[in-house]
Amino acid sequence: KQEVTQIPAALSVPEGENLVLNCSFTDSAIYNLQWFRQDPGKGLTSLLLIQSSQREQTSGRLNASLDKSSGRSTLYIAASQPGDSATYLCAVDNYGQNFVFGPGTRLSVLP
Amino acid sequence: EAGVTQFPSHSVIEKGQTVTLRCDPISGHDNLYWYRRVMGKEIKFLLHFVKESKQDESGMPNNRFLAERTGGTYSTLKVQPAELEDSGVYFCASSQPGQGSLETQYFGPGTRLLVL
């Protein structure tokens, strides 16, 4: 059974800092991994999708990496801004089965 | 406690036909979300209900998609007429609003739609 964990559970940084969020999964036989952001009372916003054959994906200030063999993914946020404050979730897709979400990392970027 | 349920689990239809997907949220959850994963691509947000009201429908792809949540309980998502590119998995999630913070969304198993 796939299990997904995220570290840290919460993170508070001053504006402008670069930061890394971590996602770990127990079963490396994944189809893809997706990073989302969640704001209170809103639907999940897709940030990046990494296929199992890829090593990383970039979008603006965001960079996500994937190391399937070690069961890890990282989300790198460059030059953080207060608007980045949200909870960041990773979700692992296991070949046709339902996807599994991590518990999330709550990020606060202080002005 | 029963989780989020979706019906049907699979649907195969021809282009031009109509399909209606149903989602039953966890009892008492005011928030209901629809998401879609087109084949091999990312899961994307479609819309959000708070009780029977549409809070955010910015993710709905076009006017062939109609979502309703009469009475604030179950929701339906109708695609009419269906096109080939509508094939994918449609997920529903529900949550109870948190107190000024994040609420956990509970996902259903999804409906796999194939348009031929």
pLDDT digits (tens, 9 = 90+) for A55-97: 999 999 999 999 999 999 999 999 999 999 999 999 998 765 5
CA of B48: which chain A residue's CA is closest? A43
Tell me: pLDDT of A5 over 90: yes
As given in the structure block, the two tokens for residue B36 are: 């879609």
| CB-based contact, A52 to chain B, within 8 Å | no
Percent of residues, chain B, with pLDDT higher than 70:
93
Contacting residues of B for A50, CB less than 8 Å apart: none
pLDDT value of residue A38? 87
Contacting residues of A for B45, CB less than 8 Å apart: 43-46
As given in the structure block, the two tokens for residue A108 are: 């606060």
pLDDT value of residue A97? 55
Percent of residues, chain B, with pLDDT higher than 90:
68
Tell me: pLDDT of B101 over 60: no
Residue from B42, B47, B96, B112 to probe the interface with A (highest A Cβ count within 10 Å) = B42
Task: Answer for the pair A55, A63: CB distance below 8 angstroms, yes or no.
Answer: no
With a CB cutoff of 8 Å and minimum separation 6, the contacts of A87 are A37, A38, A39, A104, A105, A106, A107, B102
Say yes or no for a CB contact (<8 Å) between B43 and A46: yes
Q: Cα dist. B109→A56, A99, B44, B62 in Å?
A: 28, 9, 15, 24
Task: Answer for the pair B8, B92: CB distance below 8 angstroms, yes or no.
Answer: no
Task: Answer for the pair B48, B59: CB distance below 8 angstroms, yes or no.
Answer: no
CA of A86: which chain B residue's CA is closest? B102
CA of A41: which chain B residue's CA is closest? B97
Sign of CA dihedral A42, B85, A28, B107: positive
How far is residue B41's CA from residue A25's CA, in Å, rounded to a whole number?
Answer: 20
- Provide the residue type at B16 as one letter: G
Say yes or no for a CB contact (<8 Å) between A44 and B102: no
Give the closest residue to B69 by CA, choosing from B87, B91, B47: B47
Tell me: pLDDT of B99 over 60: no
User: Over chain B, what is the mean pLDDT?
Assistant: 90
Pick from B11-20, B72-81, B99-108: least confident? B99-108
> What residue has token string 């739609």?
B113
pLDDT value of residue B105? 81
Contacting residues of B for A36, CB less than 8 Å apart: 43
Give the closest residue to A99 by CA, choosing from B97, B2, B42: B42
- Per-residue pLDDT band for B1 (boundaries 50, 70, 90) equals low
